[in-house]
Amino acid sequence: MAERDDRWRGVISVGPWWLLYIGVFGPTGRHAHHAAQVIASDDDVRVRFDEERPLECRALVIPPDHPHAIETAGRATMVFVDAESAAGRRLASRCAGAPAQIEVASTPDGGRASDVVESMLRAVDDPAPGAVPLSPAIAAVVAQLADDPAAGTAIEFAAQAQLSPGRFSHRFAREVGIPLRSYRRWVRVLLAFEALNAGASLTEAAPRAGFSDSAHLCRTFRDSFGIAPTDLLAGSRFEPLA
């Protein structure tokens, strides 16, 4: 019997607070990203979260910052939702820190990217209030970092929030879910995707997103998604947001 092709080949679309991938996927290394991930496939997807029995199903949601590794290959639709977006915070609240199997009526794989994302999120997202919002002080920092991930220092942000540096760092990590340094890294990854989506090479995208060089970008990408960007981009293409 022929071996299943586990090379990533698909279409990538980048929205204001989401990233969509439709296509062939393969196994990944253990990783974590500051995004809720929704996966839907026509075949079972096996994802390992710890040393115990992995979760194996056709559709699941993975909460933000939850280490995991995909162990199978196949074809799927995947949506990554920025954890600091309204939808991302609702998903994180609904997951309550644990991955879960979900029901998806059909696997969307065509049409406008935004419509596919909406269809995927309907399976798990409830637009009713429920997620705890960020405090105004932390929301202001998150907004600044979204515009420029190099903006400010922990000491400057603490002064802005009228908190001690230690108290600010603790509050930021508690409300956002990861430390300030880790959140800066995640924003840089998103900016790199935006640059790649606009036609930049890895070498060009790295400095635009605040990475020292393409090797730095590649290491961070692997930590965030479990694969090298070259593995993803070699057989995939970016599709402009329609």
What does the pLDDT look like over 103-131, one tens digit per residue?
A: 876 666 667 888 889 888 888 876 655 66
State the Cα–Cα distance between residues 199 and 210, nearest whole angstrom: 17
Domains and CATH numbers, the chain: 9-131 (2.60.120.10), 136-221 (1.10.10.60)
Helix ranges (H only) for the chain are: 86-95, 113-122, 136-147, 154-160, 165-176, 180-197, 202-208, 214-225, 229-233
pLDDT of residue 207: 96
Amino acid 129: pLDDT? 55
pLDDT at 31: 96
pTM for the whole structure: 0.89
Give the model's pLDDT for residue 123. 81
Q: What is the pLDDT of residue 4?
A: 54
Closest CA to 23 of 239, 199, 242: 239
Distance of CA 108 to the CA centre of its chain: 19
Query: How confident is the model over 60-93, as pLDDT tens digits?
Result: 999 999 999 999 999 999 999 999 998 898 888 8
pLDDT for 133: 83
For residues 135, 190, 105, 129, the Cα torsion angle rounded to the nearest 10 degrees is 10
**Distance separating alpha carbons of residues 66 and 32, to the nearest angstrom:** 5
> CA–CA separation, 30 vs 207, rounded Å?
26
Number of residues in the chain: 242
pLDDT, residue 2, reads 41
Query: Exposure of 36 by Cβ count < 10 A (0-12 exposed, 13-18 middle, 19+ buried)?
Result: buried
Q: Dihedral sign for Cα 131, 134, 135, 136, please.
A: negative
Structure tokens at 215: 């090797």
Residues of the chain whose pLDDT is less than 50?
1-3
Burial 121-136, CB ≥16 within 10 A → b, else e: beebbeeeeebeebee
